[in-house]
Structure 1
Amino acid sequence: MRLLVVNDDGPPSTVSPYFAPFINALNEAGHTTVVVIPDRPLSWIGKAHAVGKTLTAASRCPASFSDKSCAIPGCDETEDRTHRWLVVDGLPASCTQIGLFHAGFNPSDFDLVVSGPNHGRNASTVYSLSSGTVGGAMEAAQCGRRAVALSFGSKEVQPDHVIHAACQRSVALIGDLVRDWHPDVDVYSVNVPMVADIAERPVSYTTTARGRWISGGLFSPVPVDPEKLALSRTYQFRWAPQLADIKRQAEESPEGEDLWASVNGVISVAPLRASFTSVDVHK
C-alpha cells in the first residue's frame, strides 16, 4: 500500500521514540511511505490549523535524525518523497492536508493515512477529542481518505524489542483493518499496550469511553504575591493535568470500552466516524 504517515510528536527524539521504528516496520513489510510531520511535538492540539500562517516544509533525509549515514545513493540531489520526509512548522492536521494535496500526490493516490504512533495512549474522549494524533486522522477523513490513528500506550522508556514487537503487530493489524474495512467507518483509533508479549495480546473492537474532568482539570494557578496581584490584576495558570479522575474512570471502565482495554493489556480498535453525532432529543 501507499501510505501517508503523519504524527503529532514530531521527528524522532526522546519524546517521539516510536516513529522511526514504525516507519522501518512499514517499509520492511513492503509498503510505500510518504512522511509529512510537524517539526516539534504538538500534543493536545486536536484537529486545529494555524489560520493565516504561511507554513514552511523542510525536506529532510530520515538519517539526519539519527547517528547513521543515509544508504540511498544521491539522497541530497533527489526529492523522492517516498524517501525524504517533509518536516513542517505546522500542526498535525495541516501536515495531513499538505501530504494529501501538496507532496506530489493526489489524495486518491493514497490507500490509507496513518497518524502516529502516538507517545502514549489515546483512550477515552478526554484524550481522543484533544489528540493531535486522532486529529491528523480525522483531517484525512474530511479529505475523503480512510485513516488509522495509532497510539502506543506508554510514556515510559521502552526496550527496543518491545518497540519492535509493537510496530510489527501494528503493521499487521493495519493490514487486517484495511482488508476488512467497514463501509461506515472513517477512522479506526487503535491503542497498543507496550508489553513484552504484545504479539500474543488479543485485539478487541471497543467504544470510546466518555471521560470527564471532574475534581481537577488541565491547569493549576501559579502562586503570586498579593501585592503584585493587586497592581497587575493578571493571573497565570501552568499546565498541570490532574489525572486522578481519569485513572479512576479507567479502573471503573466496563469491558468493551477503550479505557478498559488499556488497563487490561488488550489492543483496542475503536471504529469512528468523522462527525459530531447528533442526539435525537425527541425520542
Structure 2
Amino acid sequence: MHILVTNDDGPPSDQSSPYVHSLVSSLQAAGHTVSVVLPHTQRSWIGKAHLVGKSVRPSYFRPSPLTTSNGRLSNTGTTHTRPLPSSSTDEEWVLVDSTPASCVQIGLYHYFKERGPIDLVISGPNYGRNSTAVFSLSSGTIGGAMEAAVCGFKSIALSYAFFDRNHDPTIITGASALSVKLVEHLHANWDPTTHLYSVNVPLVEDVGSRKILYTHMLQNTWRSGSCFQPIEVPEGEDEGPAEAEAAMRKAEEKQGIRELTGESVPNSGRETPLQSHVRYTHKHFKWAPHFKDVYQSVEESEPGNDGWAVAHMNTSVTPLRANFMHSGQQEGEIKL
C-alpha cells in the first residue's frame, strides 16, 4: 500500500513525539510505501481545524536511522528549508506550519504523485490515548483522520495509550508491529459503512498477545466545571502548548499507574467561584481540565466501550463516520 502518515505531535522527539518514527519504520519493513507530512511542532487538542488566512510553509525533515541508544529508540534528524534533489534516495519527510488536518490536505493533493495513489491515511501514533468522547472530539489525531475521510480516503486514527513514560523500545516496537498487522487487517476487511477507525493500542509488554476488541465510543462529559482556571500572570509569561501538553501527559501517566495498581481516582471537587463587586474581574485563564472526569467515567462504565478496553490493557478499534449524525425522529415544519 501507499500510506500517508501524519500526526498531531510533530516530528520525532522524546519529549513530544516518541512513536511516529517507529511506526513509519515498521510500515516500511512490511513492504509499504510511506509518505509523511507532519506539523512542524506539537499541535494536540486542535481537532480538525485549519488556520484560515495563514499561508502554509513547508520545511523538510530527514530522520536519522532508527536505532536504540541508552535504552531508548533514537528520535533524531535534521530539518531543512529546501527539499532534497529528485535524484536523492535519502528519506525525507515534509513538515508544515499548520494543523494535522492541513497536513492531510497537503499530503493528499500536493506531494507524492510520483509514488502513485494513496491507499490509506494513518494519523498517529498519538502520544497517549484518544478514547471516550471528551478526548476524541478535540483530538488532532482523530481530526487528521477525519479530514482524510471527508476527502474520500480510508483513514485510521492511531493512538498509543501509555501507562508510564519510560519509552521502553521493546514495548514501542511491539506496539508498532501490532499496529501494522491491525492496519493491514482493517484495510483488507474494511466495513463499507465505516469512514474511519479510531484505534488505541496499550503500551504494555506482549501487547500482541492481548485482545483486540471492536468498541463503541464512551459518551462522557466534563462534570467538574470549567476546563479553565483563573490565574494572575503578567503579559508574556503564559506557558506554551508544549508545556501544557507535558502537564497533561504527566496527569495521564499518574492515571496509568492507578489503572495498573487499581488505585482509585481522587476527587478534587469544583473550583471556588471568584467573588467580585465589579462587573468583571480582569483575569488570565489557564487550560486546566479535570481529567479525573474522564477516568471516573471509564471506571463507572459497562464493558464494551473504548475507554474500558484500554483501561484493561486491550486494543480498542472504534468504527466511526465522518459526520455529526442526527438524533431522534423529529421531522417536518416547526411552527411557533
Taking structure 1 as the reference length, the TM-score comes to 0.90
Q: Give the Cα separation in 1 of the matches to 2:285 and 2:317.
A: 35
Query: Partner amino acid for 2:182?
Result: L
Following TM superposition, by how much is the alpha carbon of 1:156 offset from its aligned partner in structure 2, in angstroms? 1.9
Contact 1:34 1:82 in 2 (8 A): no
Counterpart residue number, 1:84: 92
Matches within 5 A, 1:131-142: 131-142=139-150
Could you tell me how far 1:250 is from its partner in structure 2? Answer: 1.2
1:206 aligns with 2:208: no
Aligned Cα RMSD in Å?
2.8
Q: Which residue of 2 aligns with 1:247?
A: 295
Counterpart in 2 of 1:10? 10
Aligned pair in 2 of structure 1 residues 67, 190: CA closer, same or farther (>3 Å)? Answer: closer
Residue of 150, 156, 159 corresponding to 2:158: 150
Task: Report the secondary structure of 1:248's partner residue.
Answer: helix
Whole-Å separation in 2 of the counterparts to 1:190 and 1:92: 17
- Cα distance in 1 for partners of 2:205, 2:65 equals 30
Is the contact made by 2:63 and 2:77 (CA closer than 8 Å) also made in structure 1?
no
Q: What is the identity, as a one-letter code, of the residue corresponding to 1:177?
A: L
Deviation for aligned residue 1:105:
2.5
- Whole-Å Cα distance in 1 between the matches of residues 77 and 37 of structure 2? 21
Unmatched runs of 5 consecutive residues or more in structure 1? none
Aligned-partner Cα distance in 2 for 1:163–1:23:
12
Gap change, CA 1:253 and 1:61, over 3 Å in 2: same
Q: Which amino acid aligns with 1:222?
A: I
Q: Secondary structure at the match of 1:139?
A: helix
Unaligned runs of at least 5 residues, structure 2: 67-73, 235-273, 332-336
Percent identity between the aligned chains?
Answer: 43
CA contact (8 A) 1:107 1:145 kept: no
Deviation string for 1:209-243 (max 9, x for gaps)?
A: 012001134221114799xx97x952211121211
Aligned length: 277
Once the two structures are superposed, the pairs formed by residues 261-276 of structure 1 within 5 Å of their partners are 261-276=309-324
Number of the residue aligned with 2:33: 32
Number of the residue aligned with 2:70 = none
- CA distance in structure 1 between the partners assigned to 2:75 and 2:102 by the alignment: 29
Shift in CA distance, 193/61, structure 1 to aligned 2, threshold 3 Å = same
Provide closer, same or farther for how the CA distance between residues 187 and 278 of structure 1 changes in structure 2, counting only shifts above 3 A: same
1:15-64 superposed Cα distances (whole Å, 9 cap, x missing partner): 10001111110100111000000001110000000001100011221229
Q: Aligned-pair distance for 1:106?
A: 9.3
Contact map agreement 2:4 2:34 (CA 8 A) in 1:
yes
> What does 1:1-283 align with in structure 2 at a 5 Å threshold?
1-13=1-13, 14-63=15-64, 76-78=84-86, 83-105=91-113, 109-154=117-162, 156-223=165-232, 233-282=281-330
Amino acid at match of 1:277: M
TM-score by length of 2: 0.76
Verify the 8 A CA contact 1:100 1:107 in the aligned structure 2: no
Give the secondary-structure state (helix, strand or coil) at the position aligned to 2:113: coil
Change (3 A) 1:69 1:12: closer
Give 1:104 deviation, angstroms: 3.5
CA displacement at 1:77 relative to structure 2? 3.0
